[in-house]
A and B are shown apart, each in its own frame.
Chain A
Amino acid sequence: MTLKGLAPIALLAGLVASASLAEPLGDARAGEAVFRKCKSCHQVGDGASNRVGPHLNGVFGRRAGGLEGFAYSKSMTRAGVDGTIWEVRTLDAFLENPKSLVSGTKMNFRGLKSAEDRSNVIAYLRDFSDNPANIPEASPTATPEVTLSPEVLALVGDPEYGEYLSSDCLTCHQSDGGDAGIPSITNWPEEDFVLAMHAYRQKLRPHPVMQMMAGRLSDEEIAALAAYFKDLE
Chain B
Amino acid sequence: MTFNRRKFIKTSVVTAAALSAPAVLADGHGKPRVVVIGGGAGGATAARYLAKDSKGALDVTLVEPSRSYYTCFFSNLYIGGFRTIDSLAHSYGTLAAEYGVNVVHDWAVDVDRDAKTVTLAGGSTLSYDKLVLSPGIDFVDGAVEGWDLSTQNAMPHAYKGGSQTELLKAQIEAMPEGGTYAMVAPPNPYRCPPGPYERVSMVAHVLKAKNPTAKILIADPKEKFSKMALFQEGWGDNYAGMIDWIGSDFGGGDVSVDPANMTLTIDGEETPVDVCNVIPAMKAGKIADMAGVTDGNWAPVNAIDMSTKADADVYVLGDASQQGDMPKSGFSANSQAKVCANAIRGALTGSKVFPAKFSNTCWSLIDTDNGVKVGATYEATDEKIAKVDGFISATGEDGATRKATYEESIGWYAGITSDMFG
- What residues make up the interface of A, taking CB atoms closer than 8 Å to B? 78, 81-83, 160-161, 164-165, 167-168, 170-176, 178-182, 208-209, 211-213, 215-216
Would A209 and B411 count as touching, CB distance under 8 A?
no
19 further interface pairs, Cβ-Cβ under 8 Å (given A78-B404, A172-B411, A216-B357): A81-B400, A165-B354, A165-B357, A167-B338, A168-B338, A170-B415, A171-B334, A171-B359, A171-B416, A171-B419, A172-B361, A174-B414, A175-B419, A178-B414, A180-B407, A181-B407, A181-B408, A182-B408, A208-B391
Most central of B335, B361, B373, B414 by chain A CB within 10 Å = B414
- What residues on B are CB-neighbors of A212 within 8 Å? 359, 375-377, 389-391
Known contacts A181-B410, A215-B389; A81 and B404 CB within 8 A of each other: yes
B331 at the A/B interface (Cβ < 8 Å)? Answer: yes
Distance in angstroms from A93 CB to nearest chain B CB is: 21
In the complex, A216 Cα to B355 Cα: how many Å? 13
Distance in angstroms from A185 CB to nearest chain B CB is: 11
Would B415 and A209 count as touching, CB distance under 8 A?
no
Would B415 and A173 count as touching, CB distance under 8 A?
yes
- What residues on A are CB-neighbors of B6 within 8 Å? none
- Please give me the residue from chain B that is nearest to A216 by CB atom: B377
Which of B400, B401, B415 interacts with A171 by CB under 8 Å? B415
List, sorted by A's number, 14 A–B pairs whose CB atoms are closer than 8 Å: A81-B404, A167-B338, A171-B334, A172-B361, A173-B411, A174-B414, A175-B415, A175-B419, A178-B414, A181-B412, A182-B415, A212-B391, A215-B377, A216-B357
Would A170 and B419 count as touching, CB distance under 8 A?
yes
* Main secondary structure on B side of the interface with A: helix
In residues 377-422 of chain B, which contact A (Cβ within 8 Å)? 377, 388-391, 400-401, 404, 407-412, 414-416, 418-419
In the complex, A213 Cα to B412 Cα: how many Å? 15
In the complex, A78 Cα to B400 Cα: how many Å? 10
Distance in angstroms from B231 CB to nearest chain A CB is: 19
Would A168 and B359 count as touching, CB distance under 8 A?
yes
- What residues make up the interface of B, taking CB atoms closer than 8 Å to A? 49, 331, 334-335, 338, 342, 352, 354, 357, 359, 361, 373, 375-377, 388-391, 400-401, 404, 407-412, 414-416, 418-419
In the complex, A15 Cα to B80 Cα: how many Å? 46
Known contacts A172-B411, A182-B415; A209 and B391 CB within 8 A of each other: yes
Which of A174, A178, A213 interacts with B359 by CB under 8 Å? A213
Would B354 and A161 count as touching, CB distance under 8 A?
yes
Would A180 and B410 count as touching, CB distance under 8 A?
yes
Would B342 and A164 count as touching, CB distance under 8 A?
yes
Distance in angstroms from B391 CB to nearest chain A CB is: 4
Known contacts A181-B408, A181-B409, A181-B412; A213 and B377 CB within 8 A of each other: yes
Closest 7 pairs (CB-CB, A-B): A181-B411, A182-B411, A208-B391, A181-B407, A167-B338, A181-B410, A164-B354
Would A174 and B391 count as touching, CB distance under 8 A?
no
Which of A78, A168, A174, A209 interacts with B373 by CB under 8 Å? A209
- Please give me the residue from chain B that is nearest to A182 by CB atom: B411
In the complex, A223 Cα to B418 Cα: how many Å? 25
In the complex, A123 Cα to B121 Cα: how many Å? 75
- What residues on B are CB-neighbors of A164 within 8 Å? 342, 354
Most central of A81, A82, A160, A175 by chain B CB within 10 Å = A81
In the complex, A78 Cα to B375 Cα: how many Å? 20
Distance in angstroms from B210 CB to nearest chain A CB is: 28
- What residues on B are CB-neighbors of A174 within 8 Å? 411, 414-415, 418
Known contacts A167-B49, A212-B375; A182 and B418 CB within 8 A of each other: no
Distance in angstroms from B375 CB to nearest chain A CB is: 6
Would B361 and A209 count as touching, CB distance under 8 A?
yes
Would B331 and A209 count as touching, CB distance under 8 A?
no
Would B418 and A172 count as touching, CB distance under 8 A?
no
- What residues on A are CB-neighbors of B415 within 8 Å? 170-175, 182
In the complex, A83 Cα to B400 Cα: how many Å? 10
In the complex, A190 Cα to B156 Cα: how many Å? 51
In the complex, A51 Cα to B342 Cα: how many Å? 52
- What residues on A are CB-neighbors of B419 within 8 Å? 167, 170-171, 175
- Please give me the residue from chain A that is nearest to B375 by CB atom: A209
Distance in angstroms from A85 CB to nearest chain B CB is: 13
In the complex, A175 Cα to B391 Cα: how many Å? 25
Would A82 and B335 count as touching, CB distance under 8 A?
no
Would A171 and B331 count as touching, CB distance under 8 A?
yes
Which of A81, A160, A180, A208 interacts with B414 by CB under 8 Å? A180
Known contacts A161-B354, A181-B410, A182-B412; A175 and B418 CB within 8 A of each other: yes
- Please give me the residue from chain B that is nearest to A160 by CB atom: B352
- What residues on A are CB-neighbors of B354 within 8 Å? 161, 164-165
- What residues on B are CB-neighbors of A211 within 8 Å? 391
Most central of B352, B388, B389, B412 by chain A CB within 10 Å = B412
- What residues on B are CB-neighbors of A172 within 8 Å? 361, 408, 411-412, 415-416
In the complex, A172 Cα to B409 Cα: how many Å? 9
In the complex, A215 Cα to B357 Cα: how many Å? 13
- What residues on B are CB-neighbors of A179 within 8 Å? 411
Most central of A78, A181, A209 by chain B CB within 10 Å = A181
- What residues on A are CB-neighbors of B361 within 8 Å? 172, 209
- What residues on A are CB-neighbors of B373 within 8 Å? 209
Would B352 and A180 count as touching, CB distance under 8 A?
no
Would B375 and A171 count as touching, CB distance under 8 A?
no
- What residues on A are CB-neighbors of B401 within 8 Å? 81-83
